[in-house]
Amino acid sequence: MSKSLKKMRMDEQELVRQIQDGDEMAFAEIVKIYKNKIVNFLWKITGDYQKAVELSQETFMRVYFKANKYKPVAPFSSWVYTIASNLAKTEMKRSRKFAAVPLDDVQNHLPMEAYASNPTDSGLLTNLREALNSLHPRYRIPVILKDVEGFSQEEIAQILKSPLGTIKARISRGRDYLKKELEKASSKENSFAINEEYQDG
């Protein structure tokens, strides 16, 4: 572990100790450090930015009110991501219960902007987002923690409270799925481009 990372972890644990003593300034500092990271993490899992913001707020509420339960045997970041992951999994289970609403009903209540793609977004990013959204949470969460958030497999096993072997297998399967989906999307785009070229000719 680098000296700077070690110092950061020590500083964070000191902030948590102050939060445990009721110091709201220390809590504000923790929110400042982690807010954007947690919102982005939850956004990648849920695919819904507004929901990610709501879940991040709940994450920090739990950090504040459950600070006394934190034990400094693991990095503080692992504890925060554990809370966020659990909230995301609960939300996605709840969402699946309401997924039986007919698609037409949902579309009729969505503004037209919901269908507009981000003009600054590349096709690859769009394809990756769609592939991630279609990946089951049991694979999506470990892949995001590893490849986006940069946690080690051992830390992910701690965060998700799963055996290391299970985490390794889920990351591998998740990556394989994403690779196939991206190849499929790329193949479709190439086929479309060739057809357009043929028609123009």
The last residue of one of the domains, among 64, 86, 116, is 116
Of the candidates 119, 47, 34, which has an alpha carbon nearest to the alpha carbon of residue 76?
34
Query: Residue 119 has what pLDDT?
Result: 40
Q: How many CA atoms lie within 13 A of 52 on its CB side?
A: 15
Query: Residue 101 has what pLDDT?
Result: 40
How high is the mean pLDDT of the chain?
Answer: 79
Q: How many CA atoms lie within 13 A of 170 on its CB side?
A: 22
Q: Which 3 state secondary structure label does DSSP give 102?
A: coil
Residues 150 and 102 in one domain: no
| Span 64-91, pLDDT tens digits | 999 998 887 778 899 999 999 999 999 8
| Span 104-123, pLDDT tens digits | 433 333 333 333 334 444 56
* Weakest mean pLDDT among 28-37, 95-104, 108-117: 108-117
CA dist 181 and 131 (Å) reads: 6
Site of tokens 């102050």: 18
Q: How many CA atoms lie within 13 A of 109 on its CB side?
A: 5
Give the list of residues 6+ apart from residue 194 with CB closer than 8 angstroms, or none.
none
Whether the CB-CB separation of 19 and 27 falls below 8 Å is answered with yes
Residues 93 and 143 in one domain: no
Query: Residue 10 has what pLDDT?
Result: 61
| Span 145-195, pLDDT tens digits | 998 899 999 999 999 999 999 999 999 999 999 888 888 877 766 554 445
CATH number at residue 149: 1.10.10.10
The last residue of one of the domains, among 71, 87, 116, is 116
Query: Cβ–Cβ contacts within 10 Å for residue 156, how many?
Result: 25
Query: Cβ–Cβ contacts within 10 Å for residue 12, how many?
Result: 21
What is the domain range of residue 97?
Answer: 1-116
What is the 8-class DSSP label of residue 74?
S
Residues 62 and 95 in one domain: yes
Whether the CB-CB separation of 164 and 146 falls below 8 Å is answered with no
Q: Which 3 state secondary structure label does DSSP give 92?
A: helix
Number of domains in the chain: 2
CATH number at residue 30: 1.10.1740.10
Query: Residue 103 has what pLDDT?
Result: 37
